[in-house]
Amino acid sequence: MKHDENKTILITGASSGIGRELAIALAKKGHKVFAGIRRKIDKTEIESLNPNIKGVYIDITIPSSIDKAFWFVYKNTLKIDILVNNAGIAVAGPIECIDISKKKEQFDVNTFGAISVVQRFMPLMDGAKIINISSMASTGIFPYIAPYCASKRAMEILFNSFNLENKSGIKVISVKPSCVKTPIWNKSVNRAREDFNNYQSSSKNKYEKDLLFMEKNALKNNDKGIEIGVVVDKIIKIINAKNPKPSYTIGTQAMLAELVSKLPQNFINFLIKSKLSKITG
C-alpha cells in the first residue's frame, strides 16, 4: 500500500469536534470514511456533507454495538487502513467527591472502549495505523480532572504495549494536543455542575471556589483553545507519513505540560498548590 493512496478510515466520536472535522477533511481528499456516531440525526447530517462519508452507529462502551458496527463496516470494505480512536468524555471534580461509577464511566469510554474497538476490528486491520487522540492531560499534573488524566495515561500505556506486541504490522500513534476548541469542555462543565449538586454540604463548602475556577478555566477553552484545524492537519500528515513517530505533542500548552511533568513531583505539587491558593484562597 502506498502511503499517498486513498485509504479506508474509521473514526470514533465523529458527530462533533475533532472527529467530525477530520471526517470531512479526509472525505474531501477522496478517502473512504466510516464516521462513528450514536444518533440517527448525526448519521443523516454527517453523510449529507460528503458522499465519501458513511455514518456508523457505535457506542464504544457496549460490546454488541461494536460488533454491529464491525459487521456494517465489513459489508462495505475488506480492510481498514486507519483507525482514529477519538471518542471521549471528561469527568471533573475532587477525587473524594466523584462517585466511583463516574470514574468507571471515564475509563469505559476513554480507555477500555478504545481497546474494545481495536480488538473487534483486528480482522480488518493488518498493516493499519491506529491514531489515538490523547491529551496533554496524560501528563497527570492537573488537579480536578484526575479521572480524565488517568484514562488518557492508561490508554497510552496499554496501546504502547499493543504496539510492541501485535503481530499484524499495526503502528500506534498518540496525538497529545493542548486544549482544543471543542464541545467536550461545555459537556464536561455541565457534567461537573450536575455532580456538584449531589455533593454533601461539607464538600460543597470545601471545594466551591476551586470548582468555580476550574469551570471558568474550562469554558475559556471554547474561545482560547487551539483551533480544531491545527489538530486535523497534524493527523492528516500522520496518516500520510510512511514512518510516523509514536507520539506527537501539539501546541505550546502541551509542550509546557510535558516539560513540567518531568520535574520532581514535590516541586510540581508545590507549584500547583501555590497557584491554586492564590486563585481560590
Q: Catalytic site residues?
A: 148, 152
Beta bridge partners of 250: 177
Tally of CA atoms within 13 A in the half-sphere of 176 that contains its CB: 23
Q: Is 40 buried (19+), middle (13-18) or exposed (0-12) by CB count in 10 A?
A: exposed
Q: 108-127 burial, b for 16+ CB within 10 Å, e for fewer? A: bbbbbbbbbbbebbeebbee
How far, in Å, CA of 114 to CA of 68, rounded? Answer: 16
Q: Give, as one character, the DSSP assignment of residue 112.
A: I
How far, in Å, CA of 13 to CA of 20, rounded? Answer: 8
At 118, list the grid cell: 481495536
How far, in Å, CA of 159 to CA of 147, rounded? Answer: 18
Q: Which of 203, 199, 248, 217 is nearest to 145 (CA)?
A: 217
Sequence-separated (6 or more) residues with CB below 8 Å from residue 86: 11, 12, 13, 14, 17, 18, 19, 22, 36, 133
